[in-house]
Amino acid sequence: MYNQKKEEFAVRKGPIFANFILADEINRAPAKVQSALLEAMQEKQVTIGDETFKLEEPFLVLATQNPIEQEGTYPLPEAQLDRFMLKVVIGYPTREDEKLIIRQNLSQEKTNITPIIRTADILKARQLVREVYMDEKIEKYIIDIVFATRFPNDNKLGKIAQLINYGGSPRASINLALAAKTYAFIKRRGYVIPEDVRAICHDVMRHRIGLTYEAEAENYTTDMVINEVLNVVEVP
């Protein structure tokens, strides 16, 4: 921003300079705003003019999308979608959960927030996740899954080849491996098993596979493609 009194420009850091960023209905943000997130999400830094600012760790971007209302929205570019580790589909709450939602929204009581973990503990846990053992056979299994989405005809998936416009990128392989290690860590295991990969495969891959117009016309979804891939790729 320009300071008229000092006759110079000064940097005023915005909301991106935080540990956790929540972008509510991110597809309502214009393309310029979405593209500004690319550097922050990948390089964990922000460049303003000729000056670069490192973002404080841990840094995490959470975003929501409304799957129903599309008017006034902007489609997210593939480069940005690929920077999200997971795409989790959240359905309607259960009857009991919705009852709690009603009570909390109508209640006059303030919610007390109690810290349960320190920043240093989060950083330590992230390092421990990367130390979870992954056998070479599991690595091959992950690569086989990703390559099957890229080259379906070479992986006994010719029947859905015409439905896939593009498959997973190298980020898909990286994040599938990292998410599998994280899942094993949550399950209190120091090693990854094939079931870990299968458990998180849909969340990691569903936004990284592009479907053709034929697939959309036939109401074929990326989850259905992933199911076909998991059924065909050999489990170690």
Mean pLDDT of 23-52: 83
For range 170-194, the mean pLDDT: 96
Higher-scoring residue by pLDDT: 225, 49: 225
Counting other chains too, the contacts that 50-59 makes at CB distance below 8 Å and 24 or more residues apart are: 51/11, 53/11, 53/13, 53/17, 55/16, 55/17, 56/17, 56/18, 56/19, 57/19, 57/123, 58/19, 58/119, 58/122, 58/123, 58/126, 59/19, 59/21
Q: Please tell me the predicted confidence (pLDDT) of residue 104.
A: 87
Task: Specify the range with the lowest mean pLDDT, choosing from 21-25, 73-77, 180-184.
Answer: 73-77
**Predicted pLDDT of residue 69:** 67
Domains of the chain: 12-84 (3.40.50.300), 131-236 (1.10.8.80)
Q: What is the rounded average pLDDT of the residues 195-212? A: 95
pLDDT at 70 over 90: no
Predicted local distance difference test score (pLDDT) of residue 110 = 80
Q: What is the pLDDT of residues 132-171, one digit of tens each?
A: 999 999 999 999 999 999 999 988 888 888 999 999 999 9
Tell whether the model's pLDDT for residue 72 goes beyond 70. Answer: no
Helical residues (DSSP H) of the chain, grouped into ranges: 31-43, 78-81, 95-106, 119-130, 136-150, 170-186, 194-205, 213-217, 222-232
